[in-house]
Amino acid sequence: MNSRREFLINTSIAAAGLGLASLTRAQAAPGTTQPGQAAAAASSLLTRPIPRTGERIPAIGMGTSGSFEVGLTADELAPLREVLQRFLASGATVIDTAPTYGPAEDVLGELLAGMPSRPALFLATKLSGVTGRDAGLAQFQSSLRRMRVDKVELLQVHNLRDTDTQLAVARELQQQGKVRYVGLTHYLDSAQAELAQALRRLKPDFVQINYSVTSRTAEQAIFPVAQDLGIAVMINRAFDDGRLFARVQDKPLPAWAAEVGATSWAQLLLKFVLSHPAVTVVIPATSKPKNMTDNLLAGTGPLLDARQRADLVVQLG
């Protein structure tokens, strides 16, 4: 019951009308309720404010890199449709994608178009791998067509490519009402010093960066700058591209996991990320419905305190 595979059961969850408490009940087999799980079931999904505006967004979001890079056949879309249904049923809204994630924007657009009504989402995409104003504008228009939307909530300059020009493009679109927030991203520890400099100079609304229990450079390089400047922080690679699951596959959960309502390693790893006060939202990617439910449960119940964070670092560091 302490591992991701053993605790989750393969039940089908209908999306309409379900809240996070329903997802929790469907996940646990009869008689397997863990201490603290009832409290988690009664909780709503944790939200965090965007510093610049005070708007609150759910702290558990969803990435699409890899997971949404599939074809448009019915068989390929079916599990992702259920992933999206479970995500939306919980009250989650933040979905991060990019035009350079293969067909991910097309897949997301197809899934959204197939819904009876357009859900309220916080869509984030990127200006990625382009140089020059015209190329940036053209790529953004292509993203809107592919996702079948007329605006996005967040437009980010990806991986510090042509940063000044592309952020200016994003701000131009922001003034036109096509974009609500602008940001900068990266996914490597080695880029964080340069990213911190860009944050100080350009002061975007959001920064997206890698952070996990075994990759904590952002605690010194990025988080203090973001907190000082009032920049929202979006976290990618919270599972270190899945490598953390290999580390914990034979490990029991810590004895204190029940204190925070955690019933899987995925929940603990996400709670570790969210327990840093600089973090606004984390965007784990998955193509498996049961893993989406597991990820969402990390956004309920207590987060880790300093002692629990330190213990997790010792166990996995």
Work out the angle at residue 17's Cα, subtended by the Cα atoms of residues 13 and 20, and round it to the nearest 5 degrees.
65
The answer on pLDDT for 17 being more than 50 is no
The answer on pLDDT for 2 being more than 80 is no
Residue 118 has a pLDDT of 81
The answer on pLDDT for 270 being more than 90 is yes
Residue 21 has a pLDDT of 54
The answer on pLDDT for 125 being more than 50 is yes
Is 35-316 in CATH node 3.30.1330.180?
no
The answer on pLDDT for 15 being more than 90 is no
Instruction: Please compute the mean of the pLDDT values over residues 273-297 and round it to a whole number.
Output: 98
Sequence length of the chain is: 317
Q: Which two tokens stand for residue 255?
A: 């004895």
Backbone angles phi, psi at 306, to 5 degrees: -60, -40
Q: Encode pLDDT of 57-115 as tens digits.
A: 999 999 999 999 999 999 999 999 999 999 999 999 999 999 999 999 999 999 999 99
Residue 35 has a pLDDT of 35
Q: Encode pLDDT of 288-313 as tens digits.
A: 999 999 999 999 999 999 999 999 99
Work out the angle at residue 122's Cα, subtended by the Cα atoms of residues 228 and 75, and round it to the nearest 5 degrees.
135
Domain range summary for the chain, segments of one domain joined by +: 35-316
Instruction: Please compute the mean of the pLDDT values over residues 241-265 and round it to a whole number.
Output: 96
Angle between helices 265-274 and 306-316 in degrees, nearest 10: 120
Residue 22 has a pLDDT of 52
Indicate the residue type of 285: A
DSSP 3-state assignment of 63?
A: strand
